[in-house]
A = this chain, B = another copy of it.
Amino acid sequence: MASIKPLSDRVLVRPDSAEEKTSSGIIIPDSAKEKPQRGTVVAVGPGKYENGNKIGMTVKEGDKVLYGKYAGNEIEIDGEELMIMRESDILGVLS
């Protein structure tokens, strides 16, 4: 499979399928608010620089994460649909 190395503070995420979401206990409410999405981290960038200081990444490969519905860009590799987003678009890590 072709692989992607995210740049800066970006994170590559494999979104959960609709089936997985239902069985996991995380149910997205049907209100008018922006709803978080769930997936698994596939790859992380090296971190970004802020005023000359490198800010390391908090999430790591394999983490189950929640992210906003409109976060990031969709890409498709070998027929699989992935998401690439900034770490700041990730709301939390499931444990």
A interface with B by C-beta (< 8 Å): 1-8, 10, 12, 24-29, 31, 33-36, 45-46, 49-53, 55, 58-59, 66, 68, 73-79, 81, 84, 87-88, 90-95
Which residues of chain B are within 8 angstroms of A36 by Cβ–Cβ distance?
A: 73-75, 84
Which residues of chain B are within 8 angstroms of A66 by Cβ–Cβ distance?
A: 4, 75, 84
27 sampled A-B residue pairs with Cβ under 8 A:
A2-B25, A2-B26, A2-B94, A3-B95, A7-B58, A7-B59, A7-B87, A7-B90, A7-B91, A7-B93, A25-B79, A27-B79, A28-B75, A28-B76, A29-B74, A29-B75, A34-B73, A36-B75, A36-B84, A46-B58, A50-B51, A50-B52, A51-B52, A52-B52, A52-B53, A73-B91, A84-B92
